Every structure is written in C-alpha cells, then in structure tokens.
C-alpha cells in the first residue's frame, strides 16, 4: 500500500528526530528534578533569602509561556553576552529551567504530604533537621512524587516540539520538513502522533508503573 511506502521512506528521518526529542526530554527532566528539589526546599525554607527567589523563579517559569522563554534565552541573552548561543544547549537550559519550576511544586507537595510526626520523631531520635529531611522525609516523598514526575516527563516530551523555532529538528519538525517536500500531511502527521503515543505508553507503563510496583515491594519486604 502507498501509505506504508510513505512511512518506510520517512522512518529514518523521523527516528533521527525522535532521538533528539528523547535526548532533550531526558536532559531537561533530569536537570529539572535537581533544580526542582533545591527550589522546593528553598521555597519551604524560613530564610527569606532562599524563599523569595524560589517563589519568584517558580512563578516566572510557570506563569510565562515556554515559547517566550525560548525566545528570551536564545535571542535575548546574545545581546548581553555578545555572541550567539548554541541552539541545542540553549534548548536544554530553557527546558530544564521550565521543568524545574514544575518539579519544584511536585517535590514541595510530596514533602508536605508526609505527616509532620515523621519529622518530630526523627528529631526526637537526635537527628538534625537536615538529616531528618535526607534520611526520613525525602525517601518517603520520592515514592509519592513518581506519578506526577512521570506526567512531567510526558508533558516535557511534547513541549520539546517548540524548540523547532530556533532550528532544532526534533520529531515534530522532522515530520514538517518531510511534508514540505512530499505533501503527504495526513500520513506523516499520523505517524508522528503514533510515535508520541508509543513514547507516552512506554513511560507510563514500563517506567512509572514498574517503579511504583518496585517501591511497594520494597515497603513490604
């Protein structure tokens, strides 16, 4: 059938775009989790020097469109530094900062969902606040934030399509380039959608659910 011939011809280009999409998503969520954890702790801190900047950071990156953030970094920062930025690392930086704001709220909700008595019990055993947070609160909170972190990974995977505006050829842009020369919009966009759906299912079923089951087994053992 003609549709399979179109897909076979487009597959190498789409797979290359998919590779970039996965790479951007993985780096963004990885760095975003690291940023988000520290920002969440800063937002819950009693020190205003930590709390206020953390709140401003979260509100800025959650309140402004990701596309605007990409333009601000890629087109705005060169005016300050005096030379153009690499589109790949600019994209990683913006996506990581954006993901960090959402991860911060995820971690904050997870930490605050732990009963206050857990901290009091740890402190009564002689632990400092930092030790109690590290060894008692955070391990329990991490188990609770796995599902929303999985959702963040899925959302970020879809949002990577926006970096095409600064020249990166990820999955969606790869499909667009193929369509511009073959004029097979229905066939290509359907295949691109299938790629995104498969990735979403793989993340949900084989990562998030498996991680949850493994942690539950660890709790019973």
Rg (alpha carbons) of the chain, rounded to whole number: 21
pLDDT over 70 (residue 12): yes
Q: Are 202 and 157 in contact (CB under 8 A)?
A: no
pLDDT in tens, 179-198: 999 899 999 999 999 999 99
- CA dihedral (100, 166, 24, 162) positive or negative: positive
Q: How far is CA 85 from CA 21, 28, 57, 80, 124, in A?
A: 19, 17, 22, 11, 52
Q: How many CB atoms lie within 10 A of CB 84?
A: 11
Distance CA 103, CA 148 (A): 9
User: Tokens in use for 96?
Assistant: 């990581």
Distance CA 97, CA 57 (A): 9
Q: What is the pLDDT of residues 53-102, one digit of tens each?
A: 999 999 999 999 999 999 999 999 999 888 899 999 999 999 999 999 99
**What global pTM score does this model have?**
0.89
Over residues 104-155, the pLDDT tens digits come to: 999 999 999 988 888 888 888 888 888 888 888 888 888 889 889 999 999 9
- Sign for the CA dihedral angle at 62, 65, 60, 18 comes to positive
Per DSSP, 74 falls in state: I
Domain ranges for the chain: 2-220
Mean pLDDT (the chain) is 90
Question: 2-220 — its CATH code?
Answer: 1.10.3720.10
């Amino acid at each position: 059938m003609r549709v399979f011939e179109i897909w076979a011809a487009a597959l190498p280009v789409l797979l290359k775009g998919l590779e970039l999409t996965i790479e951007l998503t993985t780096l963004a969520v990885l760095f975003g989790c690291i940023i988000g954890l520290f920002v969440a702790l800063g937002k819950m801190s009693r020190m205003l020097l930590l709390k206020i900047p953390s709140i401003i950071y979260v509100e800025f990156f959650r309140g402004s469109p990701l596309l605007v953030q990409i333009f601000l970094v890629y087109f705005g920062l060169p005016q300050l530094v005096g030379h153009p930025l690499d589109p790949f690392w600019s994209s990683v930086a913006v996506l990581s900062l954006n993901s960090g704001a959402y991860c911060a709220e995820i971690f904050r909700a997870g930490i605050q969902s732990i009963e206050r008595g857990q901290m009091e019990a740890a402190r009564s055993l002689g632990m400092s606040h930092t030790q109690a947070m590290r060894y008692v609160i955070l391990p329990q909170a991490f188990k609770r934030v796995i599902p929303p972190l999985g959702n963040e990974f899925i959302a970020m995977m879809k949002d990577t399509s926006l970096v095409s505006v600064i020249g990166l050829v990820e999955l969606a842009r790869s499909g667009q380039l193929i369509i511009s020369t073959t004029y097979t919009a229905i066939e290509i966009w359907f295949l691109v959608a299938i790629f995104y759906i498969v990735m979403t299912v793989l993340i949900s079923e084989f990562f998030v659910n498996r991680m949850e089951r493994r942690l539950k087994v660890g709790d019973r053992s």
